[in-house]
């Protein structure tokens, strides 16, 4: 099977369009991508938020003056090798690696 590669990106307010080597375009909500960030830091943060007993962690997140997830905006798309993309976000985050197959299947 031929490996799909992105051939271009369109950064729109709140939305990322990815053009692929097979001619298809997938559209992604930036808020959704930010929420699904697969890096270790975000997975730990999500675990805290999903555990009511650890309410302090949620409070800390809510009181943060960083942009909220719904305001998430990608500033830069950074290709990682030939299999994944990384995004630089307006909240300063940039460690999530999104594999091509995840980006394709999630659209």
Q: Which of 11, 39 has the CB closer to Zn ion?
A: 39
> Which tokens go with 12?
């729109």
Beta bridge partners of 99: 84
**What are the strands, taking DSSP E only, across the chain?**
6-12, 15-20, 25-29, 74-80, 84-89, 97-99
**65, 71, 77, 81 alpha-carbon torsion, rounded to 10°:** 80
Where does this chain touch Zn ion (CB under 5 A) — which range of 6-14, 26-34, 66-74, 92-100? 92-100
- 102 lines the binding site for Zn ion (CB under 5 A): no
Which residues ranging from 14 to 73 are in contact with Zn ion (CB under 5 A)? Answer: 37, 39, 42
Q: Which of 18, 96, 98, 100 forms a contact with Zn ion (CB under 5 A)?
A: 96
| Contacting positions for Zn ion (CB under 5 A) | 37, 39, 42, 96
């Amino acid at each position: 099977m031929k490996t799909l590669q992105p051939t271009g990106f369109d950064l729109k307010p709140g939305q990322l369009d990815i053009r692929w080597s097979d001619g298809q375009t997938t559209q992604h909500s930036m808020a959704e991508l930010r929420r699904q960030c697969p890096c270790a830091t975000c997975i730990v943060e999500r675990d805290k938020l999903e555990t009511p007993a650890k309410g302090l962690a949620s409070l800390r997140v809510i009181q943060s003056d960083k942009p909220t997830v719904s305001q998430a905006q990608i500033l830069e798309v950074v290709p990682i090798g030939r299999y994944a993309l990384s995004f630089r976000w307006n909240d300063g985050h940039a460690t999530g690696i999104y594999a091509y197959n995840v980006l394709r299947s999630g659209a």
